[in-house]
Amino acid sequence: MLATRARVAALRRTGLLSRRGGGRGLWTGRPQSDTDNMKPLAGVKILDLTRVLAGPFATMNLGDLGAEVIKVERPGAGDDTRTWGPPFVGTESTYFLSVNRNKKSIAVNIKDPKGVKIIKELAAVCDVFVENYVPGKLSALGLGYEDLHGVAPHLVYCSITGYGQTGPLSQRAGYDAVASAVSGLMHITGPEDGDPVRPGVAMTDLATGLYAYGAIMAGLIQRYKTGKGLFIDCNLLSSQVACLTQVAANYLIGQKEAQRWGTAHGSIVPYQAFKTKDGYLVVGAGNNQQFATVCKILNLPELIGDAKYRTNHLRVQNRKELIKILSTRFEEEMTSKWLHLFEGSGVPYGPINNMRDVFAEPQNLYHVAVPSLARSAARCQPQLHLFVRLVCMSSWLDRKPRAGPHLPHEPLRCRYKAWQKVTAN
């Protein structure tokens, strides 16, 4: 116990662990004095053994809300995504930078008994433990839920895997593209008459990260009520299947197999991208009034009274004929002209933007601001804003470099040397 206290004290001196949250360093949920400037998860300490995307995305979002995240990486190599590129900024991949802000990073060899001891000592003073190893791997090293529960019964332990803790696929490694294929997401994504397509971003990983994020928040509330930790089983396959929502219901309840629709919607017409003279415009008419408005804007009033298009059900039945008429009209004008005509109409619409357009969009200055996150004295890097906004606070991104060898942007070997100094005490 004395050795543990000495090591924790050393960690606090380096800035790896803060003094927030009381003597044991555990979050209690009790009201704090400085409520005007308090971050929602201030005082919560998270030990993060995740790599790549789903886990780091979950812990980054928790860090954005004020949690103190300690990211544990492999000595020498670090998180796999450090080498995923181009593009790179110096020696760092932008992929890694995108999901690892607001974290303090250390290198620990968890295959070494000394490393296992370090992790257990850190877990004892943290509130949450997050990992994304194949089921059983951490248990074999002495870092499974039962192992840590013995030394930290308060711990909210979240395991993120590809296919869950049990079942015939549980021992398979889980990657987003594979899980999106197995879950059916890839089957329903792509052109109507074309091949299955992988979504442009790793939606299965991101959805899993958000489920884990919410489950961890619920776990902290549960611990606040009971005083006991718990185990959270989160996996890519279950998360993505849960996101199938109405597509799953169509099959399970309506016995209708899903198909690919490109940019279109299987149950609403029109609701898709239309090619213009110089780009694409997405327009959705979810009810008869909106459809009539679309017809007026396109100067096709004869479609409003056409019996074949009087209801959405009929429009779905006569989809191909209607879409052909609308597509021909949309191609006659520039995107800017259509944007002007649809403005204020009450019909949902918008252009298909590239990244340059996305971050030049004025609306993003209000809700998806891109502040510059200082990472060294010489340079700043833009980062996405928090994905939700709480009106009591402005921004919780770390805009200033945090002193100490744990900074995510420092070379991993430097952090490891500093960690060796800490653990040598």
Altogether, the residues listed in the chain come to a count of 425
Q: What is the DSSP letter of 282?
A: E
> How are beta strands 156-161 and 128-131 bridged, if at all?
parallel
CA distance 412 to 417: 9
- Which residue in the list 48, 79, 176, 205 is annotated as catalytic? 205
Which two tokens mark 345? 């109409």
d(CA 125, CA 17): 9
CB atoms within 10 A of CB 167: 12
Report the relative pairing of strands 103-107 and 128-131 from DSSP bridges.
Answer: unpaired
DSSP conformation letters of 149-175: HHH-TT-EEEEEESS-SSSTTTTS---
205 is a catalytic site residue: yes
**Distance from C-alpha of 312 to C-alpha of 317, rounded to nearest angstrom:** 9
* Region for 365 from its dihedrals, namely left if φ exceeds 0, alpha if ψ lies in -120 to 50, beta otherwise: alpha
Provide the b/e sequence for 405-424 (b: ≥16 CB within 10 Å). Answer: bbbbbbebeebbebbeebbe
DSSP state letter for 194: S
> Tokens 């895997």 sit at which residue?
161
b/e code 63-84 from CB counts within 10 Å (16+ = b): bbbbbbbbbbbbbeebbebbee
Greatest extent of the chain over all pairs of C-alpha atoms, in Å = 84
Q: What residues contact 351, with CB distance under 8 A and at least 6 apart?
A: 279, 280, 281, 282, 335, 339, 357
- The set of catalytic residues is 205
